[in-house]
Amino acid sequence: MERRDGLALEVDRLEKVFRERGAREVRAVDGISFRVAPGEVVGLLGPNGAGKTTTIKCILGLVQPTSGRVTIFGRDLASHYPGILSQVSAVLEGSRNLYWRMTVWENIEFFTGIHGLPRRQHLRYFDHLVERFGLAEKRNVEVRKLSQGMKQKTAVVCALAKRTPLVFLDEPTLGLDVETSYELRETLKDLAREENRTVVLSSHDMDVVQDVCQRVIIMAAGRVVADDSIEHLMGLFRTKAYRLALRGPAPDELEASLAARFPGLELQRSAYLTQIRLRLPEPDDIYTLMDLLRDAGATIEGLSQEEPDLEKVFLEIVRKERENQCNSHTP
Interacting residues with another protein (CB under 8 A): 16, 18, 28, 54, 57, 60-64, 82-86, 88-90, 92-93, 96-102, 106, 109-119, 142
Query: Which backbone phi and psi does 233 adopt, to 5 degrees?
Result: -60, -45
Min dist. Cβ of residue 102 to another protein (A): 6
Give the 3-state secondary structure percentages of the chain, helix then strand then coil, rounded to 5.
40, 25, 30
Q: Nearer to another protein by C-beta: 66 or 325? A: 66
Q: Which is nearer to another protein, 36 or 117 (CB)?
A: 117
Nearer to another protein, 98 or 224 (CB): 98
Q: Which is nearer to another protein, 87 or 180 (CB)?
A: 87
Sequence-separated (6 or more) residues with CB below 8 Å from residue 39: 3, 8, 196, 197, 198
Give whichever of 163 and 215 is closer to another protein, judged by the CB atom: 163
Contacts of 295 (CB under 8 A, 6+ apart): none
Round to whole Å and give the CA distance between 242 and 82. Answer: 54
Listing from the earlier edge strand, what are the strands of the sheet with 198-202? 88-91, 166-170, 198-202, 41-45, 215-220, 223-229
Q: Which amino acid belongs to residue 151?
A: K
Cα distance between residue 292 and residue 187, in whole Å: 48
Nearest-approach distance from CB 220 to another protein, in angstroms: 19
Shortest separation between residue 126's beta carbon and another protein, angstroms: 13
Rounded least distance, CB 93 to another protein, Å: 5
> Measured from the CB atom, is 57 or 215 closer to another protein?
57
Answer yes or no: are the C-beta atoms of 94 and 151 closer than 8 Å: yes
Report the nearest approach of another protein to the CB of residue 128 (Å). 20
Query: Which residue lies nearer to another protein by CB, 62 or 123?
Result: 62
For residue 195, the minimal CB distance to another protein (Å) is 20
Q: How far apart are CA 202 and CA 34, in angstroms?
A: 15
Residues belonging to the chain? 331
H or E element that contains 274: strand 273-279
**Residue 277: other Cβ atoms inside 10 A:** 14
CA pair distance 60, 16, nearest whole angstrom: 14
Cβ(239)–Cβ(308) below 8 Å: yes
The least CB distance from residue 210 to another protein, in Å, is 28
